[in-house]
Amino acid sequence: MEPERLRITQDLISFISVLSNQISLSTRKGLNDLSKIQEQSLLRVINKVFDKKFVDLNDESPNFPGYDYGDDTNLVGLQMTATKKSEKITHTLTKIKKNKNITSKYTSLWFFILSVDSPKRKSIPVDGLSIIHLNLSSIIDAIRKLEIKEQQECLDLIKEEYKKYFQNEKQDHEVDSIFKRKTPVSIPNDMTLFCDSLNISMWYPNDINEGYIKVHGILTRFRDKLRDCRIESREALEGILREIPYPQGLNDKMEVDKDKLYGRLNIRIQNSYIMDGYISDLEINELLDTQEEPAGWYEENGESYLMMLEKIILNYKCFEPEMNLYMALIKFYEKYHSIEEFMLAILNSDFSLLSDGEIMV
């Protein structure tokens, strides 16, 4: 069974992807704002996820300048918009700046961009007002930080408000229950050539059989971790392996910038969170790591901020023998088989070609 956190995250990713696509299509038609019913549904979700008490300010005062919604308890104003253009944000802030009653009432303004894209942050400053930029992906990020029970409560509310987005859930469950279970393919016992490529005799000079047993155990655990992932996650791993640069050393880690990888894989912005879910699945099963690194500085409103770059790292590290298992397998398959057969091994969790009997020398 898959972990509850992963199941909830995948449901959230699916929901956000559909909602984002719908909003994106509407935006292309010139509709930059959701219908009032849609906004009210999303408002309930925002209140639940972020523990706020936003109410519709137009119910209190029609055309409340600058804010769509307000939380008088937490002194936060909220503006929802489907456009990422800075002009929209600047226009809103200009109206707020002219109204001293509003700037004195709220200490923070949330711009909620109805997209999974990173919001454009350039906007005019307003004295005494903290400006926070959020988007649809912020909902997933916030829910992920909650306890399991609270995560499920948030998901239940989303399903209540957006029933049509989950109308095929029962059907999908029925399809999932009709599965094809594959018996795990055993790791071969005759892997002398593969073990020789790892210099097993150097690591185990007194008992080389101990080394063979160690390698067999490493591969068995690796196979099981692959089997614990969804097939879509293994397909994502195959895509990463096709695009990530291969280093020279057996112990070297493999890494690639996440944005560049998504570009090479032709992943659309609105689908990026689907891929994020697969990467999360692989990371949970210790098949890859994600890491942020400093990538320079940028300025905003006269202040300097550190820009971070996210990397995806493949480094299935093993000791005695010391290696990155990905690189060890790649080098072996390149020499005795082919990269295509290595990709099939990853997809099918089948490393039977490591057998000496499968190698023609």
Per-residue pLDDT tens digits for 316-332:
999 999 999 999 999 99
Q: Quote the radius of gyration of the chain (alpha carbons, Å).
A: 26
Asked if residue 291 is part of any domain, the answer here is: yes
Name which residue leads in pLDDT, 359 or 321. 321
Tell me: do 156 and 285 sit in the same domain: no
Please provide the distance, in angstroms rounded to a whole number, between the alpha carbons at the two ends of the chain.
42
Mean pLDDT of the region 66-80: 86
Per-residue pLDDT band at 137 (split at 50, 70, 90): confident
Indicate if the pLDDT at residue 306 is higher than 70. yes
Residue 56: which pLDDT band, with cuts at 50, 70 and 90?
Answer: confident
Mean pLDDT of 22-39: 59
**Number of other CB atoms surrounding residue 329 within 10 Å:** 22
Range of the domain at 299: 192-358
Report if residue 180 sits inside a domain. Answer: no
Please report, as a single letter, which amino acid is at residue 286: E
Are 167 and 198 members of one domain? no
Same domain as 205, residue 166: no
Give the count of beta carbons closer than 10 Å to the beta carbon of residue 218: 20
Which element (helix H / strand E) includes 97?
helix 86-98
How many residues are given for the chain? 361
Share of the chain above pLDDT 70, in %: 78
Position 89 pLDDT exceeds 90: no
* Structural domain includes residue 197: yes
Whether residue 40 has pLDDT greater than 70: yes
The alpha carbon torsion through 100, 104, 108, 111 (nearest 10 deg) reads -30
Total domains in the chain come to 2
276 in a structural domain: yes
Instruction: Work out the mean pLDDT of the chain and round it to a whole number.
Output: 82
**228 in the same domain as 158:** no
Q: Indicate whether 59 pLDDT > 80.
A: no
Same domain, 151 and 217: no
Residue 181 lies in a domain: no
The last residue of a domain, from among 172, 206, 233: 172
Together in a domain, 152 and 298? no
Q: For residue 272, how many C-alpha atoms fall within 13 Å in the half-sphere facing its CB?
A: 18
Arithmetic mean of pLDDT, 334-345: 94
Q: Is the pLDDT of residue 128 over 90?
A: no
Rounded Cα gap, residues 180 and 201, in angstroms: 41
292 or 210, which is more confident: 210
Structure confidence at residue 65 (pLDDT): 59
Residue type, 164: K
Residue 113: band (very low, low, confident or very high) from pLDDT cuts 50, 70, 90 = confident
- Confidence grade of residue 133 (pLDDT, cut at 50, 70, 90): confident
Q: How confident is the model at residue 172 (pLDDT cuts 50, 70, 90)?
A: very low
Q: Which of 108, 140, 172 is the last residue of a domain?
A: 172
Residues forming a β-bridge with 299: 304
- DSSP letters for 21-46: HHHHHHHHTT--S--HHHHHHHHHHH
Same-domain status, 238 and 141: no
Does pTM top 0.85 for this prediction?
A: no
Cα 116 to Cα 135: distance, rounded to the nearest angstrom:
6
Q: Is the pLDDT of residue 170 over 70?
A: no
Domain assignment of residue 221, yes or no: yes
Q: Comparing C-alpha atoms, which of 224, 243, 339, 226 is closest to residue 278?
A: 226
Q: What is the dihedral of CA 193, 194, 197, 199, to 10 degrees?
A: -90
- pLDDT tens track for 250-287: 999 999 999 899 999 998 877 787 888 889 889 989 99
Q: Is there a single domain that holds both residue 204 and residue 116?
A: no
